[in-house]
Protein backbone atom coordinates (compact mmCIF):
# COMPACT_ATOMS: atom_id res chain seq x y z
CA UNK A 1 0.00 0.00 0.00
CA UNK A 2 1.44 3.36 -1.08
CA UNK A 3 -0.26 6.28 0.68
CA UNK A 4 0.88 9.53 2.23
CA UNK A 5 -0.23 8.74 5.75
CA UNK A 6 1.20 8.20 9.22
CA UNK A 7 -0.86 5.62 11.10
CA UNK A 8 -3.75 4.00 9.25
CA UNK A 9 -6.12 4.33 12.21
CA UNK A 10 -5.40 8.07 12.46
CA UNK A 11 -6.03 9.14 8.88
CA UNK A 12 -9.36 10.87 9.61
CA UNK A 13 -7.95 12.86 12.52
CA UNK A 14 -4.87 13.86 10.52
CA UNK A 15 -6.98 14.80 7.49
CA UNK A 16 -9.27 17.00 9.60
CA UNK A 17 -6.33 18.81 11.18
CA UNK A 18 -4.80 19.41 7.76
CA UNK A 19 -8.09 20.66 6.33
CA UNK A 20 -8.59 23.14 9.15
CA UNK A 21 -4.97 24.30 8.95
CA UNK A 22 -5.42 25.03 5.24
CA UNK A 23 -8.72 26.88 5.78
CA UNK A 24 -8.39 28.45 9.20
CA UNK A 25 -10.25 31.55 8.00
CA UNK A 26 -13.32 29.45 7.19
CA UNK A 27 -13.37 26.35 9.38
CA UNK A 28 -12.84 25.09 12.89
CA UNK A 29 -13.08 21.71 14.57
CA UNK A 30 -15.33 20.96 17.51
CA UNK A 31 -12.93 19.99 20.30
CA UNK A 32 -12.82 16.26 20.87
CA UNK A 33 -15.02 15.38 17.89
CA UNK A 34 -14.63 14.76 14.15
CA UNK A 35 -16.94 17.67 13.42
CA UNK A 36 -16.11 20.64 11.16
CA UNK A 37 -18.13 23.85 11.53
CA UNK A 38 -18.09 27.33 10.10
CA UNK A 39 -15.55 29.41 11.97
CA UNK A 40 -17.91 32.36 12.05
CA UNK A 41 -21.60 31.65 12.20
CA UNK A 42 -23.89 33.66 9.99
CA UNK A 43 -24.58 37.21 11.13
CA UNK A 44 -28.28 36.36 10.84
CA UNK A 45 -30.01 33.60 12.76
CA UNK A 46 -30.81 31.02 10.13
CA UNK A 47 -31.61 27.38 9.60
CA UNK A 48 -28.47 25.31 10.04
CA UNK A 49 -27.51 22.64 7.50
CA UNK A 50 -25.69 19.59 8.84
CA UNK A 51 -24.49 16.56 6.91
CA UNK A 52 -21.78 13.95 7.07
CA UNK A 53 -20.82 10.41 6.29
CA UNK A 54 -17.78 8.28 5.85
CA UNK A 55 -14.45 9.92 5.12
CA UNK A 56 -12.64 9.13 1.89
CA UNK A 57 -15.04 11.13 -0.30
CA UNK A 58 -13.23 14.46 -0.02
CA UNK A 59 -13.97 17.27 -0.62
CA UNK A 60 -17.32 15.89 0.55
CA UNK A 61 -18.49 16.70 3.08
CA UNK A 62 -16.40 19.09 5.13
CA UNK A 63 -15.20 20.89 2.02
CA UNK A 64 -18.69 22.31 1.57
CA UNK A 65 -18.92 23.91 5.01
CA UNK A 66 -19.08 27.68 4.68
CA UNK A 67 -21.17 30.63 3.63
CA UNK A 68 -24.02 29.66 1.34
CA UNK A 69 -23.72 25.91 1.90
CA UNK A 70 -23.27 23.80 5.04
CA UNK A 71 -22.90 24.83 8.66
CA UNK A 72 -21.38 21.57 9.89
CA UNK A 73 -20.08 18.28 8.54
CA UNK A 74 -19.51 15.16 10.62
CA UNK A 75 -16.67 12.90 9.51
CA UNK A 76 -16.95 9.15 10.06
CA UNK A 77 -14.16 6.67 9.62
CA UNK A 78 -13.23 5.81 6.04
CA UNK A 79 -16.40 4.64 4.24
CA UNK A 80 -18.21 4.35 7.61
CA UNK A 81 -21.04 6.40 9.07
CA UNK A 82 -20.27 8.79 11.93
CA UNK A 83 -21.74 7.77 15.28
CA UNK A 84 -24.81 9.46 16.79
CA UNK A 85 -22.72 11.12 19.52
CA UNK A 86 -20.57 12.78 16.85
CA UNK A 87 -23.64 13.86 14.85
CA UNK A 88 -25.44 15.40 17.83
CA UNK A 89 -22.34 17.48 18.55
CA UNK A 90 -22.45 18.73 14.98
CA UNK A 91 -26.12 19.63 15.36
CA UNK A 92 -25.53 21.52 18.61
CA UNK A 93 -22.51 23.35 17.24
CA UNK A 94 -24.33 24.45 14.08
CA UNK A 95 -27.83 25.37 15.25
CA UNK A 96 -28.73 29.05 15.57
CA UNK A 97 -32.26 28.94 16.92
CA UNK A 98 -34.22 28.37 13.70
CA UNK A 99 -33.84 24.61 13.48
CA UNK A 100 -31.54 22.20 11.68
CA UNK A 101 -31.87 20.36 8.38
CA UNK A 102 -29.99 17.07 8.20
CA UNK A 103 -28.95 16.09 4.67
CA UNK A 104 -28.41 12.34 4.63
CA UNK A 105 -27.14 10.11 1.84
CA UNK A 106 -29.15 6.91 1.56
CA UNK A 107 -26.86 4.40 3.26
CA UNK A 108 -28.19 2.19 6.04
CA UNK A 109 -25.62 3.28 8.64
CA UNK A 110 -26.14 6.96 7.88
CA UNK A 111 -29.92 6.66 8.06
CA UNK A 112 -29.81 4.86 11.41
CA UNK A 113 -27.21 7.10 13.08
CA UNK A 114 -28.59 10.42 11.84
CA UNK A 115 -32.09 9.38 12.93
CA UNK A 116 -30.79 8.57 16.41
CA UNK A 117 -29.02 11.94 16.56
CA UNK A 118 -32.21 13.68 15.45
CA UNK A 119 -34.10 12.09 18.33
CA UNK A 120 -31.40 13.21 20.78
CA UNK A 121 -31.55 16.76 19.41
CA UNK A 122 -35.32 16.91 19.73
CA UNK A 123 -34.98 15.85 23.38
CA UNK A 124 -32.94 19.05 23.79
CA UNK A 125 -35.69 21.11 22.11
CA UNK A 126 -33.83 21.54 18.82
CA UNK A 127 -36.15 21.42 15.81
CA UNK A 128 -34.77 19.00 13.24
CA UNK A 129 -35.92 17.97 9.77
CA UNK A 130 -34.28 15.54 7.36
CA UNK A 131 -33.96 14.87 3.66
CA UNK A 132 -32.52 11.67 2.22
CA UNK A 133 -30.60 11.83 -1.07
CA UNK A 134 -30.93 8.80 -3.39
CA UNK A 135 -29.84 10.08 -6.78
CA UNK A 136 -27.99 7.00 -8.08
CA UNK A 137 -30.09 5.38 -10.82
CA UNK A 138 -27.78 2.38 -11.27
CA UNK A 139 -29.20 -0.08 -8.74
CA UNK A 140 -32.26 -0.19 -6.52
CA UNK A 141 -30.63 -1.97 -3.55
CA UNK A 142 -26.93 -2.49 -2.88
CA UNK A 143 -24.38 -3.61 -0.32
CA UNK A 144 -25.03 -0.66 2.01
CA UNK A 145 -28.54 0.44 1.12
CA UNK A 146 -32.21 -0.27 0.96
CA UNK A 147 -33.24 1.66 -2.10
CA UNK A 148 -31.02 3.83 -4.21
CA UNK A 149 -27.67 5.18 -3.09
CA UNK A 150 -26.86 8.83 -2.53
CA UNK A 151 -23.87 10.00 -4.55
CA UNK A 152 -22.55 13.20 -6.17
CA UNK A 153 -25.97 14.79 -6.72
CA UNK A 154 -25.92 15.43 -2.96
CA UNK A 155 -23.68 18.43 -3.60
CA UNK A 156 -26.54 20.13 -5.47
CA UNK A 157 -28.71 19.65 -2.36
CA UNK A 158 -26.03 21.30 -0.22
CA UNK A 159 -25.82 24.27 -2.58
CA UNK A 160 -29.51 24.94 -3.12
CA UNK A 161 -30.61 24.36 0.48
CA UNK A 162 -27.65 26.39 1.73
CA UNK A 163 -28.62 29.33 -0.46
CA UNK A 164 -32.21 29.20 0.76
CA UNK A 165 -31.10 29.09 4.39
CA UNK A 166 -28.77 32.03 3.82
CA UNK A 167 -31.78 34.05 2.64
CA UNK A 168 -33.39 33.59 6.06
CA UNK A 169 -36.06 31.09 5.04
CA UNK A 170 -37.66 28.99 7.77
CA UNK A 171 -36.99 25.28 8.29
CA UNK A 172 -40.02 24.16 6.29
CA UNK A 173 -38.95 26.22 3.27
CA UNK A 174 -35.35 25.04 3.41
CA UNK A 175 -36.52 21.43 3.59
CA UNK A 176 -38.91 22.06 0.69
CA UNK A 177 -36.21 23.21 -1.72
CA UNK A 178 -33.82 20.49 -0.53
CA UNK A 179 -36.46 17.87 -1.29
CA UNK A 180 -37.14 19.58 -4.61
CA UNK A 181 -33.52 18.96 -5.57
CA UNK A 182 -33.70 15.35 -4.38
CA UNK A 183 -36.78 14.84 -6.54
CA UNK A 184 -35.11 16.35 -9.63
CA UNK A 185 -31.51 15.12 -9.55
CA UNK A 186 -30.28 11.84 -11.00
CA UNK A 187 -26.76 10.39 -11.23
CA UNK A 188 -24.88 7.36 -12.50
CA UNK A 189 -21.22 6.42 -12.27
CA UNK A 190 -18.62 3.94 -13.44
CA UNK A 191 -15.26 2.72 -12.20
CA UNK A 192 -12.03 1.73 -13.92
CA UNK A 193 -10.05 0.70 -10.82
CA UNK A 194 -10.49 -0.05 -7.16
CA UNK A 195 -9.35 1.92 -4.12
CA UNK A 196 -7.55 0.95 -0.92
CA UNK A 197 -9.02 1.68 2.52
CA UNK A 198 -5.96 2.56 4.66
CA UNK A 199 -6.90 0.25 7.53
CA UNK A 200 -7.37 -2.66 5.10
CA UNK A 201 -4.26 -2.13 3.00
CA UNK A 202 -5.40 -3.84 -0.18
CA UNK A 203 -7.89 -3.15 -2.99
CA UNK A 204 -11.51 -3.93 -2.23
CA UNK A 205 -12.04 -5.49 -5.67
CA UNK A 206 -10.16 -5.93 -8.92
CA UNK A 207 -10.82 -4.98 -12.51
CA UNK A 208 -8.86 -6.26 -15.46
CA UNK A 209 -6.78 -3.89 -17.57
CA UNK A 210 -9.52 -3.93 -20.21
CA UNK A 211 -12.53 -3.82 -17.83
CA UNK A 212 -14.81 -1.13 -16.42
CA UNK A 213 -17.78 -1.50 -14.08
CA UNK A 214 -20.88 0.47 -15.01
CA UNK A 215 -22.94 1.70 -12.09
CA UNK A 216 -20.41 1.01 -9.35
CA UNK A 217 -21.00 2.86 -6.06
CA UNK A 218 -18.67 5.24 -4.26
CA UNK A 219 -17.70 2.53 -1.74
CA UNK A 220 -17.02 -0.06 -4.39
CA UNK A 221 -20.51 -1.56 -4.33
CA UNK A 222 -21.29 -3.66 -7.39
CA UNK A 223 -22.81 -1.95 -10.39
CA UNK A 224 -25.01 -3.24 -13.16
CA UNK A 225 -22.46 -4.50 -15.67
CA UNK A 226 -18.78 -5.31 -15.96
CA UNK A 227 -17.69 -4.74 -19.51
CA UNK A 228 -14.75 -3.89 -21.73
CA UNK A 229 -13.20 -0.42 -21.82
CA UNK A 230 -15.42 2.03 -23.69
CA UNK A 231 -14.73 5.26 -25.55
CA UNK A 232 -15.81 8.57 -24.04
CA UNK A 233 -18.64 8.70 -26.58
CA UNK A 234 -19.91 5.29 -25.53
CA UNK A 235 -19.60 6.03 -21.81
CA UNK A 236 -21.42 9.33 -22.17
CA UNK A 237 -24.32 7.62 -23.91
CA UNK A 238 -24.51 4.73 -21.41
CA UNK A 239 -24.46 6.91 -18.29
CA UNK A 240 -26.46 9.86 -19.57
CA UNK A 241 -29.19 7.84 -21.24
CA UNK A 242 -29.89 5.96 -17.98
CA UNK A 243 -30.07 9.26 -16.10
CA UNK A 244 -32.38 10.85 -18.68
CA UNK A 245 -34.76 7.91 -18.78
CA UNK A 246 -35.21 7.76 -15.03
CA UNK A 247 -36.84 11.12 -14.17
CA UNK A 248 -37.55 11.29 -17.07
CA UNK A 249 -35.95 14.37 -18.60
CA UNK A 250 -37.47 15.65 -21.81
CA UNK A 251 -36.75 17.93 -24.75
CA UNK A 252 -36.71 21.58 -23.70
CA UNK A 253 -35.61 20.94 -20.10
CA UNK A 254 -32.80 23.03 -18.61
CA UNK A 255 -30.30 21.23 -16.42
CA UNK A 256 -27.24 21.65 -14.28
CA UNK A 257 -24.62 19.08 -15.27
CA UNK A 258 -21.93 17.67 -12.99
CA UNK A 259 -19.08 15.53 -14.24
CA UNK A 260 -17.62 14.17 -11.01
CA UNK A 261 -14.24 12.49 -10.74
CA UNK A 262 -13.87 9.65 -8.24
CA UNK A 263 -10.32 10.49 -7.19
CA UNK A 264 -7.81 9.37 -9.82
CA UNK A 265 -9.39 10.39 -13.10
CA UNK A 266 -7.46 13.29 -14.64
CA UNK A 267 -9.29 16.50 -15.44
CA UNK A 268 -8.30 15.95 -19.08
CA UNK A 269 -10.49 12.85 -19.19
CA UNK A 270 -13.29 14.50 -17.23
CA UNK A 271 -13.40 17.36 -19.74
CA UNK A 272 -13.45 14.88 -22.63
CA UNK A 273 -16.42 13.14 -21.06
CA UNK A 274 -18.05 16.52 -20.49
CA UNK A 275 -17.67 17.29 -24.19
CA UNK A 276 -19.47 14.11 -25.15
CA UNK A 277 -22.24 14.50 -22.56
CA UNK A 278 -22.88 18.05 -23.81
CA UNK A 279 -23.14 16.73 -27.36
CA UNK A 280 -25.50 13.95 -26.31
CA UNK A 281 -27.76 16.35 -24.37
CA UNK A 282 -27.84 18.78 -27.29
CA UNK A 283 -29.01 15.97 -29.57
CA UNK A 284 -31.82 15.29 -27.08
CA UNK A 285 -32.88 18.94 -27.03
CA UNK A 286 -31.83 19.48 -23.41
CA UNK A 287 -30.14 22.77 -22.53
CA UNK A 288 -27.20 22.79 -20.13
CA UNK A 289 -27.62 25.89 -18.00
CA UNK A 290 -24.55 25.37 -15.81
CA UNK A 291 -21.69 22.86 -15.86
CA UNK A 292 -19.49 21.58 -13.04
CA UNK A 293 -16.41 19.46 -13.79
CA UNK A 294 -14.05 18.18 -11.10
CA UNK A 295 -13.75 16.04 -7.98
CA UNK A 296 -16.87 16.79 -5.93
CA UNK A 297 -17.47 13.42 -4.23
CA UNK A 298 -14.62 10.96 -4.56
CA UNK A 299 -13.85 7.40 -3.49
CA UNK A 300 -10.26 7.69 -2.26
CA UNK A 301 -8.07 6.93 -5.30
CA UNK A 302 -10.69 5.11 -7.35
CA UNK A 303 -10.47 5.79 -11.06
CA UNK A 304 -13.82 6.60 -12.62
CA UNK A 305 -16.51 9.24 -12.78
CA UNK A 306 -20.20 9.95 -12.49
CA UNK A 307 -22.68 12.07 -14.42
CA UNK A 308 -25.34 14.02 -12.51
CA UNK A 309 -28.20 16.05 -13.97
CA UNK A 310 -30.42 18.41 -12.00
CA UNK A 311 -33.62 19.52 -13.73
CA UNK A 312 -33.98 23.26 -13.17
CA UNK A 313 -36.72 25.82 -12.83
CA UNK A 314 -36.31 29.54 -12.11
CA UNK A 315 -36.17 29.04 -8.35
CA UNK A 316 -33.45 26.42 -8.55
CA UNK A 317 -31.44 28.47 -11.02
CA UNK A 318 -31.46 31.46 -8.69
CA UNK A 319 -30.41 29.40 -5.67
CA UNK A 320 -27.75 27.49 -7.58
CA UNK A 321 -26.14 30.78 -8.60
CA UNK A 322 -26.20 32.38 -5.14
CA UNK A 323 -22.89 33.32 -3.47
CA UNK A 324 -20.97 30.63 -1.62
CA UNK A 325 -17.54 30.37 -0.05
CA UNK A 326 -16.21 27.03 1.16
CA UNK A 327 -12.91 25.19 1.28
CA UNK A 328 -13.82 23.22 -1.84
CA UNK A 329 -14.28 26.40 -3.87
CA UNK A 330 -11.18 28.12 -5.17
CA UNK A 331 -12.88 31.48 -5.28
CA UNK A 332 -15.99 33.21 -4.02
CA UNK A 333 -18.76 32.36 -6.45
CA UNK A 334 -21.00 35.30 -7.25
CA UNK A 335 -23.33 33.35 -9.46
CA UNK A 336 -21.17 33.70 -12.56
CA UNK A 337 -19.22 30.43 -12.27
CA UNK A 338 -20.06 28.32 -15.27
Tell me the sheet residues that pair with 257: 291, 309
Q: Residue 142: CB partners within 8 Å, gap ≥ 6?
A: 149, 217, 221, 222
Q: Which helix (H) or strand (E) holds 77?
A: strand 72-78
Q: How much is the CA Rg of the chain, to the nearest whole Å?
A: 19
Contact (CB, 8 A) for 60 and 154: yes
Helix (H) / strand (E) containing 55: strand 48-55
> Active-site residue 57, yes or no?
yes
Catalytic position from the list 61, 158, 219, 278: 219
Q: What sign does the CA torsion over 291, 151, 63, 102 have? A: positive
Task: Calculate the alpha carbon distances from 13 to 71, 272, 280 in Å.
Answer: 20, 36, 43
Phi, then psi, of 58 in degrees rounded to 5: -55, 140
Buried residues in 320-333 as b, exposed as e (16+ CB within 10 A): bbbebebbbbeeeb
Q: Catalytic residue among 57, 61, 158, 278, which?
A: 57
Label residue 52 left, alpha or beta by phi (over 0 means left) and psi (-120 to 50 means alpha). Answer: left
**H-run or E-run covering 19:** helix 11-22
Picking from 184, 163, 186, 159, the residue whose alpha carbon sits closest to that of residue 173 is 163
Distance of CA 297 to the CA centre of its chain: 5
The three-state DSSP-derived secondary structure of 182-231 is: HHHEEEEEEECCCCECCCCCCECCCCCCCEEEECCCCCCCCCCEEEECCC
Query: Active-site positions?
Result: 57, 219
Amino acid sequence: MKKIINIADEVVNDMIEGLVAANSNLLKRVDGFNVIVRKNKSDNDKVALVTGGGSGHEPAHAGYVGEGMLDAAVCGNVFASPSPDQIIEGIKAAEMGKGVLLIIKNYSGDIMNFDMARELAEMEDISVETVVVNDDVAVEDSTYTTGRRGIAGTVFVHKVAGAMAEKGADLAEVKRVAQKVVDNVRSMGMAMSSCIIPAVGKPGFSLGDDEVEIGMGIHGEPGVERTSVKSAVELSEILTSRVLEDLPFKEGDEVALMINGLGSTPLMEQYILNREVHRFLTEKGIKVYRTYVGNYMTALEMSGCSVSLLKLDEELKELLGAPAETAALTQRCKGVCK
